Structure 1
Amino acid sequence: MTRQERTAWLFTAPVLTIIVLVFILPTLLALALSVTDYSVYALASWSNLSFIGLGNFTALLTTPLFWRALGNTLLFALFGVPMAVGTSLLAALLLNEATVRWKPLWRVALFAPYVTSVVATAVVWRYVLNTRYGLLNYALGAVGIGPVDWLGNPHTAIPAILLFVTWKIFGYNMIVFTAALAAVPADLMEAARLDGASAWERFRHVTLPAIGPTLLLAAVLSIAGFFQLFAEPYVMTMGGPSQSTVTVLYFMFNEGFQWWNLGLASAVALILFVLTLAVTLVQTRLGRRYEWL
């Protein structure tokens, strides 16, 4: 190798090592465990470990709770990604206006939830949504609306968690969109304005194509985040009521660390990995096909 190549490998070696240890190696181990009946008995003695092939995957096909968790996860992603990306883009557009005052203060305030502990904020929101003494029901009572059991009703538990997750993560996308909007060529915007283009037309034909790659990145990161939703339903509802907020990651956690069915949990992890990869590839393909994405 040349000196430049050796230098490049030297600088990238730490990052590559982390990727191998944190991502590639655990993925291979999960793949290996998914075709075994690895459980608490195998922890005591490797002689209790057996190769079962696709047994864990076929068992999942006949497990109603897994399908319920998969449906809940897809539901969270279907409604959560547009909410998270849309609100963050709207906030970035508003903060990009020249007439807005105290922009740094607003950016810090909106970004703060993202860097705050998810467990701490989930506990706070659980009290805010409390049926008896929650702040939200107190505000509704002031306008004559009776208390709502936000986290105890299957019909309102998912919207309540969606609202919390959107509030929690949209600050990151907002900062990314703010940087992308700052890079939109000012001369193109001015030319469109002089040609009589409306605010919507300038956004549709100038701003949106310019921030297309950033929009695609935000969508990919958001859908990966919703597919890995765990702490929020775990802290706020414990998967209830009536298993209406159980997600795939929550189901995997229970199988692996509550019931010690580590082989089955590894199969769930592999399915979640394949699902996330497939959706990401579809999003990337759509982003390349349509220029405005």
Structure 2
Amino acid sequence: MKPRLAPYLFVTPAMTLLLAFGVLPILVALLVSLTDMNLGGLADYSRVSFVGADNYRELFGDAAFWQALGNTGVFAVLGVPAVIVVSLVIALLLDRGDSRLFRALRAFYFVPAITGIVAVSLVWGYLYNTQFGLFNHLLSLVGVAPVQWLGDPVLVKFSVALVAVWRGTGLNVIIFLAALQGIPREYREAAAIDGASELRTTVSIVVPLLRFAIFFVAITTIIAWLQFFDEPFVLTKGGPLGASTSISLFLYQKGFSASQFGYASAGTVVLFAIIAVVTLVQLRARRIDAED
């Protein structure tokens, strides 16, 4: 084997999987979005007609689509900063020691990331229950009336986002801890010798050295929240009145509940374009920051 061909041979399996499960589905979705495919069309392709951009025109004129897109934006605004900040703070606190207690706490904070969404929904559903939920019970102890955590169109966004923040923190804590392990202890010792407080050292030395880890967590977290699906699906089914319907849940309902595969595929292409634009903007910002 020629040495120049060896690298291509090694990356071939990964590239094959990427093309099969990454690029090909996007191309299929783009093709389906130009048709009126439904459940019947899966059994008989002769019943599928080419409709061009009709699905996109219908999509952009659908008030439910814009509501779902707006909900997704609200979820991202609420969740992304919260996940990043909470994860970073917890990681900084856990990095202060390496005793059995700290190792146990690291495992404890990672548990939500590996807990099944069904189990999570059951636990949080009981916590949010209006009649016998723990949150309303605690409020009743101080004389506050029961709160409709999942029944109020405004409050439901915060309630659902809180569950997602709780689930998404654990994995990012591990990422930040790994990055913190790569920072030489000499930097902190030198700052301590110069008289810098621990808070000052963290803000001026540690956090700037975590820029790449913060960027990585930010970009993966934003992509995850733009595809926000699990929590609205299991907790509210998008209710009340569509107040917690994310764009991914909206497309799922159109595709699998209403059997409008062409319409749902058009929405999928739009969502992919939004994620691609946001990612490119972040990569560009990262490149400019690295050049500076």
TM-score by length of 1: 0.94
Residues 196-223 of structure 1, C-alpha deviations (whole Å, 9 max, x = no match): 3333432232112211111001011111
Q: Deviations over 1:30-77 (max 9, x none)?
A: 011111111223224222222222111111111000000000001111
Q: Write the mapping of 1:253-292 to structure 2, written as runs, cut at 5 A.
A: 253-290=252-289
Deviation per CA, 1:245-267: give whole Å up to 9, x if none. Answer: 00110110011101111011111
Q: Partner of 1:207 in structure 2?
A: 206
Tell me how far apart the structure 1 counterparts of residues 290 and 143 of structure 2 sit (CA, whole Å): 49
SS for the counterpart of 1:153 is coil
Distance, in Å, in 2 between the alignment partners of 1:115 and 1:290 is: 34
In the TM superposition, residue 291 of structure 1 has moved relative to its aligned partner by 5.4
What code does the residue aligned with 1:282 have?
V
Instruction: Look up the match of 1:192.
Output: 191
Q: CA RMSD in A?
A: 1.9
**What is the match of residue 31 of structure 2?**
32
Structure 2 residue aligned with 1:157:
156
Distance 1:292 1:168 in 2: 35
In structure 2, relative to structure 1, the CA distance for the partners of 1:218 and 1:66 (3 Å cut) is same
Identity across matched positions, percent:
37
Secondary structure at the aligned position of 1:154 is classed as coil
Partner residue, 1:218: 217
TM-superposed deviation, 1:187:
1.5
Moved more, 13-22 or 176-185: 13-22
Worse-matched range after superposition: 98-107 or 208-217: 98-107
The residue aligned with 1:52 is 51
Residue correspondences, number: 292
In the TM superposition, what are the counterparts of 1:1-293 in structure 2 within 5 Å? Answer: 2=2, 4-98=3-97, 102-290=101-289
Q: How far is 1:160 from its partner? A: 0.6
Secondary structure of the residue that 2:66 maps to in structure 1? helix
CA distance in 2, matches of 1:204, 1:282: 26
Q: TM-score, normalised by structure 2?
A: 0.94
Residue pair 2:78, 2:158 contacting (<8 A) in 1 also: no
Give unmatched runs, 5+ long, in structure 2: none
Give unmatched runs, 5+ long, in structure 1.
none
Amino acid at match of 1:190: E
Distance 2:13 2:291 in 1: 36
